[in-house]
Amino acid sequence: MLFLFQTLNFFDKLVFGLSAVPMMKELSLSPKDFGLIGSSFFLLFSLSGMAVGLFVVGRFPVKWILILLAAIWSASQIPIFFSSSVVVLVICRIILGAGEGPGLPTALHACYNWFPQDKRSVPSAVVLQGISVGLLAGGPFLTFIIVNYGWRTGFLVCGLLGIAWMLAWVMIGSEGPYAAANARNTTPVGAASVPARTLWGDPTVIGVIIMSTMSYWIVGMSATWLPPFLQLGLGYKQTDVGWIISVIYLFQSPLLLSGSWITQYLQRRGWSLRACLGNASGLALLAAGCALLLSIVTSGALQLACVAIAFAAPSLTTIFGPVALGAVAPAAQRGRLIVVIYSGNAASALISNALTGWIVGEAGPDVTLGYAHAMTFTAGILIIGAIAAFALIFPERTIARFARTANEPSSAAVIPAASR
């Protein structure tokens, strides 16, 4: 169910990008206008995610938090079907962003309630497969709906699917066997913790923040700008774009599963968290940045392979980052740390969507050149994230530092067995 939750999450994101060309034509939107509307989705995305992480997670059952989020998703999609107003479109996108901001980190937190720390990488990858399947199935499915029934119908279908998920989750969803312990650990009284300055000023935590923020730059803009990039920037037909996106994200599923399995296997074989999480994150972003640069100057199958690597590889950091934070953070601070960071990093998408539209628009009638400039800039952002991961993420050092400064000796319990 958490897997399907993420699938619907990216259906909701992808429908906007797939509707880009007919929407821009019908509503007379320029690339800059479209970019600003895309950015409006992220206006409350980070704030709502951090609010849920600070004040909701750990205080209420995660089952009902997810039901509320899914209800917001559906309620913000359906009105677009009945309106031709740009204002209504913007308002609905803002509300949708507020509902989706806490989605992924809350789903991961719910997943963690079912598994111990050293067995969370693969289950996290399964949940994250919802992203791949959302893009894989959403591409041709929503393209078919949009081409045959109009772009507004795509939004209606997403809203109805959200309602169906809610009804199923009411009957199926429940708290995991570790939920009670995690709830107790979120209570300040009697729980081990480290001072906030030590926690947020730690190099590993800072490295994850920078790395994840740079990674989300492209993850957040992919649903909005990948379809028009393929159609207007690279010259593919609209009817082919949906299938191309499916092929691109077909690559993401085995990448996430194999990458998470390999790192989890290596951890159990005694490899350091630094190698399995820090270096792996850096390599993923470095490969993505280089591939995005190559996609601009290549063609055919090689070009599509480069686009696939560029847009799929950064998702690995969505596994490695939370696992690294979960390994180093005291249990009393773990859940909120993950939710706050992986909601707050989405602020980069607010900038990336608008800036991409501005860069494309500045090229004037030469749209191809505009997309080339935008993707070159995005590649630079990914490389910055890679440098931060290589330079700052040292989980073993952080574990030792937190053990020395924790308020209670029991904080040593957060040290995973593989790191002792």
Task: Give the CATH number of the domain where residue 129 resides.
Answer: 1.20.1250.20
The CA-based angle 195-201-202, given to 5 degrees, is 95
Q: How many domains does the chain have?
A: 1
Read off the pLDDT of residues 147-187 as tens digits, 9 standing for 90 and up: 899 889 999 999 999 999 999 998 887 777 766 555 544 44
At residue 178, the pLDDT reads 66
> Measuring CA to CA, how many Å separate 73 from each of 93, 155, 192?
10, 11, 36
CA–CA gap between residue 355 and residue 314 (Å, rounded) = 19
Q: Is the pTM of this model over 0.85?
A: no
SS3 for 168? helix
Helix, strand, coil % (nearest 5) of the chain?
85, 0, 15
Half-sphere exposure of 333 (CA within 13 A, CB side): 22
At residue 184, the pLDDT reads 47
Token code pair at residue 409? 């000796």
Eight-state DSSP code of residue 269: T
Give the structural domain span for 290.
2-419
CA–CA gap between residue 414 and residue 186 (Å, rounded) = 14
Average pLDDT, integer, range 50-70: 81
Residues with Cβ < 8 Å from 129, sequence gap 6 or more?
A: 3, 6, 253, 256, 257
Most confident of 148-162, 262-276, 335-349: 148-162
Name the residue among 212, 231, 260, 204 with its Cα closest to residue 394.
Answer: 204
> Measuring CA to CA, how many Å separate 269 from each of 13, 121, 210, 367?
38, 15, 29, 50
Residues with Cβ < 8 Å from 402, sequence gap 6 or more?
A: 194, 198, 199, 202, 328, 329, 330, 411, 414
Read off the pLDDT of residues 87-146 as tens digits, 9 standing for 90 and up: 999 999 999 988 887 887 788 778 878 887 667 777 877 887 787 777 778 878 888 999
Token code pair at residue 354? 């608008």
State in Å, rounded, how far the first CA of the chain is from the last one. 35
Average pLDDT, integer, range 351-371: 88
Q: Say if residues 285 and 385 touch (Cβ distance below 8 Å).
A: yes
CA–CA gap between residue 227 and residue 232 (Å, rounded) = 8
CA–CA gap between residue 309 and residue 290 (Å, rounded) = 9
CA–CA gap between residue 138 and residue 410 (Å, rounded) = 47
At residue 75, the pLDDT reads 92
SS3 for 257? helix
Backbone angles phi, psi at 220, to 5 degrees: -70, -30
CA–CA gap between residue 137 and residue 248 (Å, rounded) = 11
Helices (H) and strands (E) in the chain, counts: 22, 0
